[in-house]
Every structure is written in structure tokens, then in C-alpha cells.
Amino acid sequence: MPAPEPPADLLLVASGRHERLWEVLGAHPRPSGGTGFAVWAPHAEAVSVVGDWNGWTAGVDRLRLEPGAGVFLGEVPSAELGHRYKYAVTGATGETSLRADPVAQAQEAGDGRASVVWASTHGWGDAAWMARRATVDPVADRLSAYEVHLGSWRRRADGGLLGYRDLAPRLADHVERLGFTHVELLPVAEHPYDPSWGYQVTGYFAPTSRFGNPDDFRFLVDHLHQRGIGVIVDWVPAHFPRDGWALARFDGTPLYEHTDPQRAEHPDWGTLEFDLTKPAVRGFLVANALYWLGELHVDGLRVDAVASMLYLDYSRGPGEWSPNERGGNEDLDAVSFLQELNAAVHRHVPGALTVAEESTAWDGVTREVERGGLGFTNKWNLGWMHDTLGYWSTPPPERPARHAGLTFGLAYAFAEHFVLPLSHDEVVHLKRPLLGKMPGATDAERFDHLRALYAWMWAHPGKQLLFMGAELAEEREWSQDRELAWERLDEPLPAGVHHLLAELNRAQAEHPALHRGDGTPAGFEWLEVDSADTCTLAFLRRDPGPAGDVVCVANLSDDAVAGHRVGVPAAGPWRLLLSSAEERFGGPLGPDSRRTWEAEPVPCGGQDRSIVIDLPARSVSYLVAGSR
């Protein structure tokens, strides 16, 4: 007599097509008492549940195997809400190891690494936000993200960590004052090693217990939403750590990782790579993405290390990799997985963002899957970051030779839907904080350059991302072991930087030309591009709406320029919207300086009209039509 067919839900688990995996796997407390457990371990000989209720004794609460699905499951009457537990997994060799639940929605605080039987009781209050989220246009809408590592943003007076609930109003107040649209959190899935900053995940479905329980995390997201602030989280599908209590050789075999030694280990981090040839592994990751976006109301995923997934020879030398079936270096399994991921996200969670940290020139990262692309909504523009910081860190007398660093990016600015990142990666490992990269003989000059950098970035096509501390003009490299230097806001020059960023975000919100045309060449036009020797540049951000166009003018030399002619697209008066050199931000341009100019019928920069203005040294200015 043939074995009975496994339940349909479990067949979907094995085939990688259960997109709500957390509903069938993991621990599920029953209303009448007890808890149901289910875990995918197809090569295990036996699995039992150990925990607080049975003295952590293996073999007492055994789970039964559904052979066609590779899932062990069963009811444990004594396991209750809040109990800690692990699976005692016996492999084919007879060796038993204690394992955290891959689909646990909570994990204990501290070093025990046990999973926790959990059920959310959070009542969401962000219905209005969630309704608006479904209408987001990731190309035209504003995205100005404040990147945050929760453990080192703010701390208690004794140096201890603040919890999610304590962080929520403080973070919302700060982000609201600065005018950012989103916070982007470094990974907040459970991870054992603080210096990994969360990038070595062991609990993919569990918000880290460092800051509270899963409902405390929901409170943080909910509070930010009710304050009008979106939440993006870093998400890590490229690799996972080797910890013997987590995913590595979970059922006694390489289950989540590759069996091929050329593809099993990530050469840069000593971690293991997910085997994306296995449908169940792909399904685990897709379901995890949908969990964060759906159950936890997160608005976007910044997908880490995409380039390392796309290339078989990433950080591997000759003889350390094998070509794909077409003879190329592309990882075709990773390509199809990323397409599957993005298709599922956009199908189930309208308006959700998926942002690729992809450092190469891979074609079509943000092109729709139906058109052969990977399907991300946005991509980090790491070329822009490298070239721009290279230019800004160069002393002005040497900048003419690096002029192309500012102009080349516009040759490809509309090939993808880009985010311009000045991220955590740029202010650690002896790279110096952003202020430390700025040239100058005095603090005033260095701060001039820093303010000009931010004003250039906010005017440039693309969305903005800035790592915490940049708004304080931090002088120290970032460390995960201490909070930001908030006392900097008591000093005039850092306070001016803080004020400038708030005004840049306000200008961007009030003038759609600074964001609505990010995805199209029609939204940008050079007005002055070839003046390398004088370090002056000008461009136009176009928008047909009532707020009109914005002209951006930069003088990135150490010398003020008098009587500089700039093309403008319309007759009538033009006024200064803001300048990084204004006195209110810490620059020399006082409130009595000239702020309006009348357009003259003199062609310049491809325009029929122009104005003549004085450009402060080390400055970027925005001009708009009208006299008010």
C-alpha cells in the first residue's frame, strides 16, 4: 500500500512554493494549550524538541517525519508561550546536535541562542501609512534615507543599549527634524556577533532580542509609520555563519549551504553561501522577505552583497570556480532567485522597496523581471560614491585632473534607478569619517567642503542615503561600541551642517524637480560641464509642476568667483533657494548678501537667458524662478 500523500502545505515547503512559510514551520502555541512544532530536516534520522518544560532532554518530545516533505512535526502538550526551545537533530551518522529553529519568530537574549515560543499581540495603528504605501512610485517619489545602527545611535546614560520602545520616539523626533523620508536599519535579524553589525544572521525570522521582543520591534516600526517615516532594513541572503547551533549542516548534511566546495564558502567572510539550486532554500528566503514586509510592516529591503551572489568568480581566482552551463561567470541560479524574489515581493506587497547593493555594471538590476531584469526597485550607485568622494577628498588645486569624477556619473545616471549612498562602509576601517576626508587648512574650510558635498548630493539625480553621524559632522570613525557624539550639536559648525541637511530635505520636498525626474534624462540638463580648471559646474533639474525648475551651481575651488554667468531656462527674476555657504549653516554668506537676479537675454549653457552671480568658494547653491 503506498504511503499517504503529505499535506498540501508541507508539499509546498519541500517544493519551495510556500510563501507564508512561518505559518506552517516553527513553533505555534495552541489556544487550548501546548505548542505545535515543525521543522524542515529531510536528511535527519530523528528530531525531538528540547526546552524549558522537559529539562532540555533529547528524545522525550519526538517529532514524526512526513517523508514526502522532509518535515518533522508534532504537538508538545507541555510547551507553552514564552518557553525556550531547540531541536535535537540526529543525522545519518548518529550524531545529535541542538539547533535553533530556522523559522523561530523570537530568540532569547544573551548567549544561549535558544528559540522562544512566541505569538504576537501587537495591535497595529499604521493603517493609513500602509494604505499609502501601496501607491508608492519608487522612481518619482522622494526617498531620503537615514542609515542607522540601532546599538550605537543612542545609548543609556550608563552605556547600555536602549530598547526598541525607547528608541522609537527619539529616532522619530530626530528623523522628523531632519526631514528624511525613511530610516534604513543595519540588519536587525538575530545574529550572535556584535562586530558583524548584523550581517551574519542566524535567526532570519527573529528581530534581534538585543533591543526587546518581536512586538517591541513592531512598536518601533508602527511608531515611525505613524510619524510619517518609512522603514527599510538590511537583508542578507548572500551568506550565513558557520555556527553549529544554527543553519550550518542543519540535518547532518549541507542542507542550506552548497555541497559543491567551490560554492559552499564565501571567500571574503568565511561564511557559507545559500544553495540556490534547492527550491526549499529559495522558498525559505523568499518567505523570509515577505515576512519582514508583511508581518513586520517593513517598507523595504536593502539586499546586501548582491554582486557576490551574481558572479561565480566573485573573489575567487583561477581554479577556484567553474563556468556555468553557458561558459560564463554568471551564477544563473542566483539570477533566477533574485528575479523570483522581486516578483514575489512586488506581487504580494505593492509599494515595497527592494534595493540592491550591487557594485558592478550588471545590466538591468532595476529593470522589470518581465523584461529580463532582476526586478529591484533601486540600486546603490557605488560608482557615484567612489568618484564623488575621490573628488571631494582631493585638494582644490588638484581637482581639475579629477573633474570627470563629477561628470562621468551622468553618462549612466539613468541606466538604473539609483540610490546615492554615503553609507556606514565609508566611515570605518581607517577610511575616516566624512569630515576627515575633506581637505582644508582650517576647520572652516573643511566644513565648507562637507556642506558643499551634501548640497551636491541632494541636487544630483538619484535618491539619497546618509549614515548616522554625518549630520553631526562626526570627527571619529564610527564604532558599534559607543553612541554618536551628540555633543557636537552644541558647536556652531556641526550645528550648521545639521541645519543644512534639514533645509536640503525641505527644499527637496517642496521642489519636486529635485526628485521627480530622478529616473529620466528629461529631468536633468547640464548648464556648465567643461570648466575643469575653475572647478565650477552648473546643471538644471527640470519639472513641469508649479514649483518649477531648480538650477544648481557649484564652485568647488578655494577662490570666490565674481560675476559668473549661468544659463537659466526662464525670463524674469531668479532667487537663491539655498546655498551651502550661507551664514546660517556656518558659511560666510550673510543675510544681507544679494539673493535675487533678473534674467538677461544673453545665451549661456544652452539656454536663451542667463544671470550673473557671485559664487562663494567651496559652495553649492540652488536657484529657482520668482522673487519671493
Handedness of CA 94, 98, 100, 103 (dihedral sign): positive
CA separation for the pair 71, 487 (Å, rounded): 54
| 468, amino acid identity | M
CA separation for the pair 352, 73 (Å, rounded): 33
Q: Which residues lie closer than 8 Å to 115 by C-beta, 6 or more apart?
A: 27, 84, 85, 86, 100, 101, 104, 106, 107, 108, 203, 206
In the residue annotation, 325 being an active-site residue is answered as: no
In the residue annotation, 304 being an active-site residue is answered as: yes
CA separation for the pair 71, 64 (Å, rounded): 8
In 3D space, the residue among 240, 241, 235 whose CA is nearest the CA of residue 187 turns out to be 235
Set 147, 251, 357, 582: catalytic member: 357
DSSP-based three-state secondary structure for 621: strand
In 3D space, the residue among 259, 146, 164 whose CA is nearest the CA of residue 214 turns out to be 164
Phi, psi angle pair for 79, to nearest 5° = -85, 125
Q: Which residue has the cell 550524531?
A: 95
Q: Are strands 550-555 and 536-541 parallel, antiparallel or unpaired?
A: antiparallel
Contact between 248 and 192 under an 8 Å Cβ cutoff? The reply is: no
CA separation for the pair 609, 224 (Å, rounded): 45
Phi, psi angle pair for 505, to nearest 5° = -65, -40
DSSP-based three-state secondary structure for 174: helix
Set 190, 275, 299, 304: catalytic member: 304
CA separation for the pair 363, 333 (Å, rounded): 17
In 3D space, the residue among 340, 336, 334, 370 whose CA is nearest the CA of residue 354 turns out to be 340
CA separation for the pair 80, 32 (Å, rounded): 10
Q: Where are the beta strands (DSSP E) in 346-482?
A: 353-356, 378-380, 418-422, 463-467
In 3D space, the residue among 415, 350, 301 whose CA is nearest the CA of residue 137 turns out to be 350
Q: Which residue has the cell 585638494?
A: 395
Helical segments of 349-422, H only: 382-392, 404-407
Can you name the residues that pair with 444 across neighbouring β-strands? none
Cell of 253: 548534511
Can you name the residues that pair with 303 across neighbouring β-strands? 235, 356
The residues annotated as belonging to the active site are 304, 357
